[in-house]
Amino acid sequence: MNILDVPVIKDFIRMCNDGWELGYHERNGGNLTYRMRPEEVALCKDAFTYDKPWVKMGVQAENLKNEYFIATGSGKFFRNVILAPQDNICIVEINDAGDSWRIVWGLEKGGVPTSEFPSHFMNHSVRVKATDGAYRVIYHAHTPSLIALTYVLPLTNRDFSRVLWQSATECPVVFPGGVGVVPWMVPGGADIALATSKLMEEFDAAVWAHHGLFCSGPDFDITFGLMHTIEKAADIYVRALSCGQGIRQTISDDNLRAIAKDFGVQLREEFLD
Ligand code: 2HA
Ligand code: ZN
Protein backbone atom coordinates (compact mmCIF):
# COMPACT_ATOMS: atom_id res chain seq x y z
CA MET A 1 0.00 0.00 0.00
CA ASN A 2 1.25 3.52 -0.78
CA ILE A 3 1.88 5.18 2.58
CA LEU A 4 -0.35 8.12 1.56
CA ASP A 5 -3.26 5.66 1.28
CA VAL A 6 -2.81 4.31 4.82
CA PRO A 7 -5.91 5.39 6.81
CA VAL A 8 -4.02 6.86 9.77
CA ILE A 9 -1.91 9.02 7.42
CA LYS A 10 -5.05 10.19 5.59
CA ASP A 11 -6.75 11.00 8.92
CA PHE A 12 -3.69 12.97 10.10
CA ILE A 13 -3.68 14.98 6.85
CA ARG A 14 -7.41 15.66 7.10
CA MET A 15 -7.04 16.98 10.65
CA CYS A 16 -4.26 19.36 9.57
CA ASN A 17 -6.48 20.66 6.81
CA ASP A 18 -9.53 21.02 9.06
CA GLY A 19 -7.46 23.16 11.45
CA TRP A 20 -6.19 25.29 8.57
CA GLU A 21 -9.71 25.83 7.26
CA LEU A 22 -10.92 26.95 10.69
CA GLY A 23 -8.22 29.63 10.87
CA TYR A 24 -6.11 28.04 13.59
CA HIS A 25 -2.86 27.84 11.59
CA GLU A 26 -1.54 31.06 10.13
CA ARG A 27 1.82 30.59 8.40
CA ASN A 28 3.68 27.81 10.31
CA GLY A 29 1.50 28.16 13.42
CA GLY A 30 0.50 25.07 15.35
CA ASN A 31 1.61 21.45 15.35
CA LEU A 32 0.18 17.95 15.55
CA THR A 33 1.63 14.63 16.69
CA TYR A 34 0.13 11.15 16.82
CA ARG A 35 1.56 8.07 18.61
CA MET A 36 1.10 5.21 16.17
CA ARG A 37 -0.36 1.79 16.93
CA PRO A 38 1.90 -1.18 16.05
CA GLU A 39 -0.49 -2.26 13.29
CA GLU A 40 -0.36 1.26 11.79
CA VAL A 41 3.44 1.20 11.88
CA ALA A 42 3.33 -2.17 10.08
CA LEU A 43 1.20 -0.68 7.28
CA CYS A 44 3.71 2.16 6.75
CA LYS A 45 6.97 0.26 7.28
CA ASP A 46 7.74 -0.44 3.61
CA ALA A 47 8.21 3.32 3.13
CA PHE A 48 10.62 3.72 6.09
CA THR A 49 14.37 4.28 5.85
CA TYR A 50 16.73 4.08 8.82
CA ASP A 51 19.67 6.12 7.62
CA LYS A 52 18.91 9.47 9.30
CA PRO A 53 20.75 10.53 12.47
CA TRP A 54 19.31 10.34 15.99
CA VAL A 55 18.59 13.79 17.46
CA LYS A 56 18.48 14.37 21.23
CA MET A 57 15.37 16.17 22.53
CA GLY A 58 16.47 17.56 25.90
CA VAL A 59 13.60 15.63 27.51
CA GLN A 60 13.21 11.91 28.20
CA ALA A 61 10.32 9.50 28.76
CA GLU A 62 10.62 5.88 29.84
CA ASN A 63 7.15 5.04 28.58
CA LEU A 64 7.75 6.27 25.00
CA LYS A 65 10.87 4.25 24.15
CA ASN A 66 10.76 2.80 20.63
CA GLU A 67 7.41 4.45 19.82
CA TYR A 68 6.67 5.90 16.38
CA PHE A 69 5.02 9.32 15.97
CA ILE A 70 3.53 11.09 12.99
CA ALA A 71 4.44 14.78 13.31
CA THR A 72 4.06 18.03 11.43
CA GLY A 73 7.36 19.59 10.36
CA SER A 74 9.03 22.55 12.03
CA GLY A 75 8.47 25.69 9.97
CA LYS A 76 6.03 23.87 7.67
CA PHE A 77 2.59 25.32 6.95
CA PHE A 78 -0.59 23.38 7.78
CA ARG A 79 -2.17 24.67 4.57
CA ASN A 80 0.45 22.81 2.53
CA VAL A 81 0.06 19.43 4.23
CA ILE A 82 -2.80 18.29 2.00
CA LEU A 83 -0.91 19.33 -1.17
CA ALA A 84 2.42 17.62 -0.37
CA PRO A 85 2.23 15.51 2.81
CA GLN A 86 5.63 13.92 2.14
CA ASP A 87 7.30 17.36 2.35
CA ASN A 88 5.40 18.77 5.35
CA ILE A 89 4.91 15.91 7.80
CA CYS A 90 7.11 13.03 8.95
CA ILE A 91 7.21 9.84 10.96
CA VAL A 92 9.85 9.67 13.69
CA GLU A 93 11.06 6.70 15.68
CA ILE A 94 12.09 7.15 19.34
CA ASN A 95 15.30 5.41 20.47
CA ASP A 96 15.88 2.79 23.19
CA ALA A 97 16.77 5.46 25.73
CA GLY A 98 13.55 7.45 25.14
CA ASP A 99 15.51 10.66 24.63
CA SER A 100 16.08 11.00 20.86
CA TRP A 101 14.15 10.80 17.59
CA ARG A 102 15.09 10.03 14.01
CA ILE A 103 13.04 10.61 10.87
CA VAL A 104 12.08 7.37 9.11
CA TRP A 105 9.68 8.85 6.56
CA GLY A 106 8.64 12.26 5.20
CA LEU A 107 10.07 15.80 5.13
CA GLU A 108 11.56 14.75 1.81
CA LYS A 109 12.79 18.26 1.02
CA GLY A 110 14.50 18.48 4.42
CA GLY A 111 13.44 19.57 7.87
CA VAL A 112 12.82 18.32 11.39
CA PRO A 113 9.67 17.56 13.40
CA THR A 114 7.79 20.46 14.99
CA SER A 115 9.71 22.90 17.18
CA GLU A 116 7.25 21.94 19.93
CA PHE A 117 8.22 18.27 19.75
CA PRO A 118 9.65 18.35 23.33
CA SER A 119 6.27 19.67 24.61
CA HIS A 120 4.34 17.12 22.58
CA PHE A 121 6.63 14.33 23.73
CA MET A 122 6.30 15.15 27.45
CA ASN A 123 2.54 15.59 27.07
CA HIS A 124 2.27 12.21 25.36
CA SER A 125 4.24 10.68 28.21
CA VAL A 126 1.96 12.01 30.96
CA ARG A 127 -1.26 11.31 29.01
CA VAL A 128 -0.12 7.73 28.24
CA LYS A 129 0.48 7.26 31.97
CA ALA A 130 -2.78 8.94 33.03
CA THR A 131 -4.95 7.00 30.54
CA ASP A 132 -3.20 3.63 30.55
CA GLY A 133 -2.08 4.14 26.96
CA ALA A 134 -5.44 5.22 25.54
CA TYR A 135 -4.34 8.75 24.53
CA ARG A 136 -2.46 9.09 21.23
CA VAL A 137 -2.91 12.65 19.96
CA ILE A 138 -1.40 16.00 21.00
CA TYR A 139 -2.58 19.03 19.05
CA HIS A 140 -1.41 22.63 19.36
CA ALA A 141 -3.26 25.43 17.56
CA HIS A 142 -3.37 29.22 17.52
CA THR A 143 -7.07 29.61 18.31
CA PRO A 144 -7.84 33.32 18.01
CA SER A 145 -10.70 33.85 20.45
CA LEU A 146 -9.09 31.80 23.19
CA ILE A 147 -5.87 33.75 22.73
CA ALA A 148 -7.90 36.97 23.00
CA LEU A 149 -9.31 35.82 26.34
CA THR A 150 -5.77 35.43 27.73
CA TYR A 151 -5.57 39.26 27.56
CA VAL A 152 -8.71 39.87 29.59
CA LEU A 153 -9.28 36.98 32.02
CA PRO A 154 -7.14 36.16 35.07
CA LEU A 155 -4.67 33.46 33.99
CA THR A 156 -5.97 30.76 36.32
CA ASN A 157 -7.27 27.24 35.62
CA ARG A 158 -10.43 28.10 37.51
CA ASP A 159 -11.26 31.36 35.71
CA PHE A 160 -10.76 29.87 32.24
CA SER A 161 -12.61 26.64 33.02
CA ARG A 162 -15.63 28.51 34.42
CA VAL A 163 -15.90 30.99 31.56
CA LEU A 164 -15.61 28.22 28.96
CA TRP A 165 -18.13 25.95 30.73
CA GLN A 166 -20.57 28.86 30.95
CA SER A 167 -20.18 29.84 27.29
CA ALA A 168 -21.92 26.85 25.71
CA THR A 169 -24.12 24.24 27.35
CA GLU A 170 -22.22 21.26 25.90
CA CYS A 171 -18.87 22.41 27.31
CA PRO A 172 -19.11 20.86 30.78
CA VAL A 173 -19.95 17.55 29.08
CA VAL A 174 -17.05 17.77 26.60
CA PHE A 175 -14.39 18.81 29.14
CA PRO A 176 -15.74 18.22 32.65
CA GLY A 177 -12.18 18.36 33.99
CA GLY A 178 -11.81 21.97 32.83
CA VAL A 179 -8.68 23.43 31.28
CA GLY A 180 -5.25 24.30 32.68
CA VAL A 181 -3.47 27.59 32.02
CA VAL A 182 0.27 28.07 31.41
CA PRO A 183 1.47 31.67 31.93
CA TRP A 184 3.38 33.28 29.06
CA MET A 185 6.64 31.41 28.43
CA VAL A 186 9.16 31.16 25.59
CA PRO A 187 7.82 28.48 23.22
CA GLY A 188 9.75 25.50 21.88
CA GLY A 189 11.93 24.60 24.85
CA ALA A 190 12.12 22.19 27.75
CA ASP A 191 10.72 24.68 30.34
CA ILE A 192 7.36 25.18 28.62
CA ALA A 193 7.30 21.43 27.88
CA LEU A 194 7.63 20.64 31.58
CA ALA A 195 5.09 23.29 32.67
CA THR A 196 2.56 22.01 30.12
CA SER A 197 3.08 18.35 30.90
CA LYS A 198 2.62 19.08 34.62
CA LEU A 199 -0.85 20.47 33.80
CA MET A 200 -1.54 17.56 31.46
CA GLU A 201 -1.31 15.21 34.44
CA GLU A 202 -4.74 16.63 35.34
CA PHE A 203 -6.18 18.28 32.23
CA ASP A 204 -6.90 17.23 28.63
CA ALA A 205 -6.29 20.80 27.49
CA ALA A 206 -3.75 23.48 28.43
CA VAL A 207 -4.05 27.14 27.43
CA TRP A 208 -0.78 28.90 26.57
CA ALA A 209 -1.22 32.57 27.48
CA HIS A 210 -1.00 34.92 24.48
CA HIS A 211 -0.14 31.94 22.26
CA GLY A 212 -2.73 29.18 21.85
CA LEU A 213 -4.01 25.87 23.13
CA PHE A 214 -2.72 22.30 23.58
CA CYS A 215 -5.26 19.48 23.46
CA SER A 216 -4.84 15.75 24.02
CA GLY A 217 -7.08 12.82 23.25
CA PRO A 218 -7.40 9.16 22.24
CA ASP A 219 -8.03 9.82 18.54
CA PHE A 220 -8.19 12.58 15.93
CA ASP A 221 -11.96 13.16 16.22
CA ILE A 222 -12.01 13.59 19.99
CA THR A 223 -8.89 15.76 20.06
CA PHE A 224 -9.96 17.99 17.18
CA GLY A 225 -13.44 18.15 18.69
CA LEU A 226 -11.98 19.34 22.00
CA MET A 227 -9.94 22.08 20.30
CA HIS A 228 -12.96 23.16 18.25
CA THR A 229 -15.34 23.13 21.23
CA ILE A 230 -13.03 25.17 23.45
CA GLU A 231 -12.32 27.72 20.73
CA LYS A 232 -16.02 28.02 19.88
CA ALA A 233 -16.87 28.60 23.55
CA ALA A 234 -14.16 31.27 23.76
CA ASP A 235 -15.53 32.86 20.60
CA ILE A 236 -19.06 32.99 22.05
CA TYR A 237 -17.74 34.69 25.19
CA VAL A 238 -15.75 37.21 23.12
CA ARG A 239 -18.87 37.97 21.03
CA ALA A 240 -20.98 38.40 24.17
CA LEU A 241 -18.40 40.80 25.66
CA SER A 242 -18.18 42.61 22.31
CA CYS A 243 -21.82 43.63 22.63
CA GLY A 244 -20.41 46.06 25.16
CA GLN A 245 -22.93 45.64 27.97
CA GLY A 246 -21.04 43.06 30.05
CA ILE A 247 -22.48 39.66 30.90
CA ARG A 248 -26.08 40.04 32.13
CA GLN A 249 -26.78 36.36 32.77
CA THR A 250 -24.98 33.07 32.35
CA ILE A 251 -25.26 29.35 33.10
CA SER A 252 -25.27 29.16 36.91
CA ASP A 253 -23.18 26.77 38.98
CA ASP A 254 -26.31 24.81 39.85
CA ASN A 255 -27.15 24.62 36.12
CA LEU A 256 -23.65 23.23 35.52
CA ARG A 257 -24.16 20.66 38.29
CA ALA A 258 -27.50 19.67 36.73
CA ILE A 259 -25.88 19.12 33.31
CA ALA A 260 -23.13 17.02 34.89
CA LYS A 261 -25.69 14.90 36.76
CA ASP A 262 -27.86 14.24 33.71
CA PHE A 263 -24.93 13.50 31.41
CA GLY A 264 -23.10 11.37 33.97
CA VAL A 265 -19.88 13.38 34.10
CA GLN A 266 -17.87 14.55 37.10
CA LEU A 267 -17.21 18.31 37.04
CA ARG A 268 -14.12 19.52 38.88
CA GLU A 269 -15.93 20.63 42.02
CA GLU A 270 -13.26 23.10 43.20
CA PHE A 271 -14.02 25.22 40.09
CA LEU A 272 -17.66 25.68 41.14
CA ASP A 273 -19.01 28.18 43.70
O1 2HA B 1 4.91 25.62 15.05
O2 2HA B 1 3.06 27.05 16.87
O3 2HA B 1 4.47 27.14 19.09
C4 2HA B 1 4.88 26.93 15.43
C5 2HA B 1 4.26 27.05 16.76
C6 2HA B 1 5.15 27.13 17.90
ZN1 ZN C 1 2.38 27.86 18.67
- Residue 269 within any structural domain of the chain: no
Specify the pLDDT at position 23.
Answer: 98
CA nearest to 204, candidates 249, 237, 174, 246: 174
**From the CB of 29, is ligand 1 less than 6 Å away?**
yes
113 strand-pairing partners: 73
Residue 27, pLDDT score: 98
State the distance from the centre of ligand 2 to the C-alpha of 129, rounded, in angstroms: 25
Q: How many CB atoms lie within 10 A of CB 3?
A: 18
Which ligand 1 atom sits closest to the C-alpha of 187? 3
Kindly state whether residue 273 falls inside one of the protein's structural domains. Answer: no
Residue nearest to atom 4 of ligand 1 (CA): 29
Structural domain contains residue 14:
yes
Q: Indicate whether residue 218 lines ligand 1 (CB < 6 A).
A: no
182 three-class SS:
strand
Tell me whether residue 271 is in a domain.
Answer: no
What phi, psi does 180 have (nearest 5°)?
-95, 160
How many Å apart are CA 127 and CA 136, to the nearest integer?
8
Domain that holds residue 220: 3-260
Cα of 187 vs centre of ligand 2, distance in Å, is: 7
Residues in the chain: 273
Is residue 61 a part of any domain in this protein? yes
The pLDDT of residue 1? 87
Q: What integer pLDDT is reported at residue 189 of this predicted model?
A: 86
Residue 80 falls within a domain, yes or no?
A: yes
Is 192 within 8 Å of 208 (Cβ atoms)?
yes
C-alpha dist (Å) from residue 95 to 3, 103, 161, 173, 184: 22, 11, 37, 38, 31
266 touches 260 (CB < 8 A) = yes
Is residue 266 a part of any domain in this protein? no
CA separation for the pair 101, 92 (Å, rounded) = 6
What local confidence, expressed as pLDDT, does residue 155 receive? Answer: 98
- Nearest ligand 1 atom to the CA of 142 is 2
Q: How far is the CA of 74 from the centre of ligand 1 (A)?
A: 8
Determine the pLDDT at residue 167. Answer: 98
In a domain, 97, yes or no: yes
pLDDT of residue 63: 98
**pLDDT in 10s for each residue of the chain, 273 residues:** 899 999 999 999 999 999 999 999 999 999 999 999 999 999 999 999 999 999 999 999 999 999 999 999 999 999 999 999 999 999 999 999 999 999 999 999 999 999 999 999 999 999 999 999 999 999 999 999 999 999 999 999 999 999 999 999 999 999 999 999 999 999 988 899 999 999 999 999 999 999 999 999 999 999 999 999 999 999 999 999 999 999 999 999 999 999 999 999 999 999 999
What pLDDT is recorded for position 6? 98
Contact between 48 and 14 (Cβ < 8 Å): no
| Euclidean distance between CA atoms 216 and 135, whole angstroms | 7
Domain with 43 in it: what CATH number? Answer: 3.40.225.10
- Sign, CA dihedral 47-50-51-57, equals positive
* 114 C-beta closer than 6 A to ligand 1: yes
- Distance, in Å, from the CA atom of 22 to the CA atom of 145, rounded to the nearest integer, reads 12
Q: What's the number of domains the chain is made of?
A: 1
Position 56 scores a pLDDT of: 96
pLDDT at 37: 98
